[in-house]
Chains A and B, each alone.
Chain A
Amino acid sequence: MRINLTSVYVDDQRAALAFYVDVLGFTKHRDVPIGEDSWLTVVSPEAPDGPELLLEPSGHPAVKPYRDALVEDGIPLAQFAVNDVEAEYERLTGMGVEFTQPPTDIGVSVIAVFDDTCGNLIQLIAEKPA
């Protein structure tokens, strides 16, 4: 068994695709129209055969209260690994991305949390060299 797909709910799939590809640097993997929406996934260019992230429409009525409560308390919904959190923080803030938590040393790793502009908070993490 392996994890091949996980998802984040997004308010607007096309805006989400633009953010996840143009800003974060992921690659579009699948874009299959289903009704008014699409089965829309991205992968990391560093792991093209790795897990896909599904950009799932946030239309279900349970999504808004769920996400609002998490975002209010600053709780991220997904975690992406990077080599250098501080460098990504500089790069992304330079592109207008807002962080709810600046790079924070938590001992074994450095983390930061940003707003993905699609309704979610995302955590960046870099393991510190042993």
Chain B
Amino acid sequence: MVTVFRALDDQTRRVILDELAASDGKTLFEICSILTTRHGLGLTRQAISQHLGLLESAGLVVTERRGRSKFHYFNPVPLSEITRRWPITERND
């Protein structure tokens, strides 16, 4: 299990989450083409696959099979760990 903090400590992984949050349910091929063409990130498919694996291990990405293809979805639930640990409270000073 990878912590949510480690998963977020990488620019490529944050961009992947941005793209999945904007429009969910993407194949590895679609994520690769978006990272290359929209963000100029010329990573190998294997590298992107590893980033997705790490995000999945942290629970920030979940995968689902539809037909014979695998789709990746953003799961924001682990992010609540951050505000639970450091609640946002009103300051009166």
Contact = CB atoms under 8 A, between A and B. Distances in A.
Interface of A: 68, 71-76, 98, 100-101, 104, 106-108, 111, 113, 115, 121
A44 B29 CA distance: 26
5 contacts: A73-B70, A74-B30, A113-B29, A113-B30, A115-B68
Given A104-B34, A106-B34, A111-B33, A74 B67 contact: no
Contacts of A104: 30, 33-34
B62 interface: no
A70 B86 CA distance: 43
Q: Which of A101, A107, A111 has the most CB of B within 10 A?
A: A101
Contacts of A73: 27-29, 45, 49, 69-70
Nearest to A101: B30
Interface string B42-56: 000100010000000
B21 to A, nearest CB: 16
Contacts of B71: 100
A74 B26 CA distance: 9
B37 interface: yes
Interface residues of B, number: 17
B91 interface: no
Contacts of A111: 33
Q: Which of B33, B45, B66 has the most CB of A within 10 A?
A: B33
B6 interface: no
A54 B72 CA distance: 33
B38 A76 contact: no
Contacts of A106: 33-34, 37-38
Nearest to B31: A74
A75 B67 contact: no
B30 A107 contact: no
B68 A107 contact: no
A75 B38 contact: no
A29 to B, nearest CB: 29
B26 A101 contact: yes
Q: Which of A68, A100, A107 has the most CB of B within 10 A?
A: A100
